[in-house]
Structure 1
């Protein structure tokens, strides 16, 4: 059920849209939100996190209801590799916490929203003891709707806002329109809601807006979610070796490519190249800055950034990249069919595709095997990877809501944050057995009705610590978690990791043209010199002043990462 990302050389919006739906679909049980947003929160530009935020954070109390097969490590998700004993599911919420209040929730929805009074909504409301009423909005145009609603006086009790929609006046509206949840959740207060207490502290750190704990988060692994995926079955058959350096990758790509036979090595590998060369994260504006040797440096100013573009340009120039990527078509089409057909053997995309491609091909192409390459340093040494943000979607409660309504919202959130292997998790993510899913050999599979009703709803209010669980393909779950753990060992948290930051509006469009220019350079339409000139222009048009602005934040707040 995990949807396919639309891009093989993913843009920020494409990645987040696809992973948001993946998180909502939760067939794999993991909010795969490791890509990018735009700006974050803070009034009139600024931050609401750092060293002063410690006292606002909920106490962390690890859950002990269900033990994962592979515990989280190095920023990874936790992993489950066994099939569920659905008759022996644990209970994480022993009594209804809700008091029966009506709670309206506005949330993005991808697809056709189900009827309000469907069996899934009824079952969830009965579980939590709250009358949740959904105001689902088209996820593709959600930002426009958000702006209009937040500018009005008619704001629902709960509003879900993805990080990539934190643009324009929305960040300041978050601060002015939504309640401080600190009195209910900060410190030991969160212990009234054990599943919320088990959400990692970094995710709560990201939920501080305007100096107050306002958001209920969807936690995410901080390890990069962009994996160089490859056809392991073909590699094994042909005797290809997984490369361990940039030179080895180039040699392999030339060996694989045979244009006459309609086989190319890869799609656009720019995002993997950024990882190989150790470039700061490009997934969110604040993550693109890091204090290096006492100076705050942006990713586009580094030698590694230019080296990435030059190496990727050589891939295109060597003719080893599939023509769809050469023409830019791969950014608008699903790469799955041509990958399955063997037209290319390697592409970089979200980790969710490791499972979704496996599931797609399982019945009619049993020899097919997709796997993830470990990222390597360009010189053959260890990679230097950079952490992504530990939460990317947030639910907020109306400032005008009564304490009774706030408590009922938290009751809902405590149930939806239940861990994998619990009754609450199964109902939240799969619905009602027999109606929304069936079970065969211990594997729950959604019915047609489940695919209509159990989507983009209660999972948007709050989620448990990141988890990967594919009962249908446990070896994929194991592979994904172990990949994250290996890569996490080489991952560094940059200076603004975990902070909610909004750049002043005068800088909003400062870096808008760089992604297009990157693509032009790697495809040979522009030169490295053009990028160097663009960086120089960026500095003079406001980049240096923006650097000073970020440096002041760092001086005043310190880094969020401990």
Structure 2
């Protein structure tokens, strides 16, 4: 099953190829922005939208005025992290009453989900709805998606989606990612396409010492020298490899297809660019100079969580997902009132504007069994229409927090889960479909503003590579071709291997199939043109 493209699929009868341009437009749902609630910070340049207002249960808006479910049973299989609650718990029964359907969860351990997914899709007992994260779309799973799941186009393409207003408000690029084999098959979880790795730093300590945020690779190195004092148990940073890739403008490595793009008329892989080696060399210099906290020298095998040492000021700059910008601040708010974490703007290594590469606009999907009756399909869409409700609505509150008084209380406009809420209202319904990417932290409104504005500034420097937004699965013979490169990157950064070892590995990669893989991707481009305009 070499190719599933979200712009498409297919010559008649074929599961390969892409549907782009007019073909995709016929498949995609109409986009109708939600006007139920207005964000304080609208989406711009690929950013999430942001909400800072405190919540009042009495004034929450309604985005689903009537139940769309018919009362039937819908079985859903989804990854679950933690201990699933009992099936008749107050959260599930309240959600089902709101939807008008009897959702019966078949939650599976998220850590071993790929194994369970493969077994279920190979069997005849496929649940009505199956959630498939992008990171599990390996091996035979992509071809199983096309053979086992329903085409939702007859229910959602064009104006048909208007029957489900919250689904209509999902951005078109997330729906584009949901086209498999030429058909609209997935219910997406939209995401911001802006780079999600932020160089977080201890702003409180920077302000106290008079350190300034760097604007080039040389300035960063000089700053690290100034900060680092091992005797005082203080180092400048953690492993900065991800930020190095961004500051040197290296093409995205987030998904295999994103690593390819056309440069000067030629299709190249990120590893073939001089910037890739330059970023690794810069990261190596940080380690070699002793600026990186010793814990990070252990690599992924490190046993300890770096967060306490960041909070203790043992290192002051930390690559992290943007969600941890808020998370680190919130976790320190009570015991460390002077603590302030903020995000550095990504610089270009030479001090100019950065060149950043877009991530994909959706990465988790729910699929409906192709054997499901129309009433079951419509009940599944009724579930998704509730779970995709925007922030500030009754449906969003129920999906994310459960029932007031039973699962959470509002404290100064901030919902706080109790033990029952923490046990029951976790990673179930939110996996079916989601609203457009949203950042909402009424307890720390300045952080909501800071995170959204960071995404907007970085979004203005973000480019879309040639296969951005497409749902592509490489031929199985190339599946393991790039497996060892991340470990080699880390070994070079830590001084265990040399840049020459990487150059040798890239040369071998080309011979072992990299050049053939390039030809395979080139044919997709020749046949369809680039995905992103």
TM-score, with length taken from structure 1: 0.92
After superposition, give the CA deviation of every residue in 1:274-329 in whole Å (9 maximum; x if it has no partner): 00000010110000000111110100000000000010011011100010111226
1:184 aligns with 2:171: no
Shift of 1:401: 0.1
* Residues 167 and 384, structure 2, Cα contact 8 Å, conserved in 1: yes
What 5-or-longer segments of structure 2 have no aligned partner?
Answer: none
Q: Aligned pair in 2 of structure 1 residues 519, 140: CA closer, same or farther (>3 Å)?
A: same
**Residues 371-410 of structure 1 mapped to structure 2, 5 A cutoff:** 371-410=342-381
User: 1:237 — aligned with what?
Assistant: 208
Distance 2:497 2:301 in 1: 20
SS in 2 for 1:328: helix
SS in 2 for 1:142: helix
Distance 1:48 1:67 in 2: 36
* Residues 281 and 388, structure 1, Cα contact 8 Å, conserved in 2: yes
1:220 aligns with 2:191: yes
Distance 1:518 1:447 in 2: 43
SS in 1 for 2:382: helix
SS in 2 for 1:337: helix
User: 2:83 — aligned with what?
Assistant: 112
* Residues 180 and 212, structure 1, Cα contact 8 Å, conserved in 2: yes
User: 1:173 — aligned with what?
Assistant: 144
Distance 1:557 1:134 in 2: 40
After superposition, give the CA deviation of every residue in 1:228-286 in whole Å (9 maximum; x if it has no partner): 00101000111110000000000000100001111100010000000000001011000
Q: Aligned pair in 2 of structure 1 residues 281, 47: CA closer, same or farther (>3 Å)?
A: farther
Q: 2:118 aligns with which of 136, 143, 147?
A: 147
Distance 2:214 2:17 in 1: 41
Q: 1:275 aligns with which of 222, 246, 253?
A: 246
After superposition, give the CA deviation of every residue in 1:448-502 in whole Å (9 maximum; x if it has no partner): 1111111111111100001100011111111110000000000001100000001
* Residues 4 and 18, structure 2, Cα contact 8 Å, conserved in 1: no
1:301 aligns with 2:290: no
After superposition, give the CA deviation of every residue in 1:180-221 in whole Å (9 maximum; x if it has no partner): 000000111101111100000000000011111000000000
User: 1:83 — aligned with what?
Assistant: 54
Distance 1:40 1:163 in 2: 12
1:352 aligns with 2:326: no
**Residues 315-330 of structure 1 mapped to structure 2, 5 A cutoff:** 315-328=286-299
Q: 1:69 aligns with which of 31, 40, 44?
A: 40
SS in 2 for 1:502: coil
* Residues 437 and 446, structure 1, Cα contact 8 Å, conserved in 2: yes
Shift of 1:85: 2.7
1:50 aligns with 2:23: no
What 5-or-longer segments of structure 1 have no aligned partner?
Answer: 1-38
Q: 2:104 aligns with which of 133, 138, 141?
A: 133
Distance 2:350 2:483 in 1: 31
User: 1:559 — aligned with what?
Assistant: 530
Shift of 1:55: 1.5
* Residues 280 and 299, structure 1, Cα contact 8 Å, conserved in 2: yes
Distance 2:531 2:303 in 1: 37
The CA RMSD over aligned residues, in Å, is 1.5
1:361 aligns with 2:309: no
Q: Aligned pair in 2 of structure 1 residues 49, 334: CA closer, same or farther (>3 Å)?
A: farther
1:530 aligns with 2:501: yes
Count of matched residue positions in the alignment of Structure 1 and Structure 2: 525
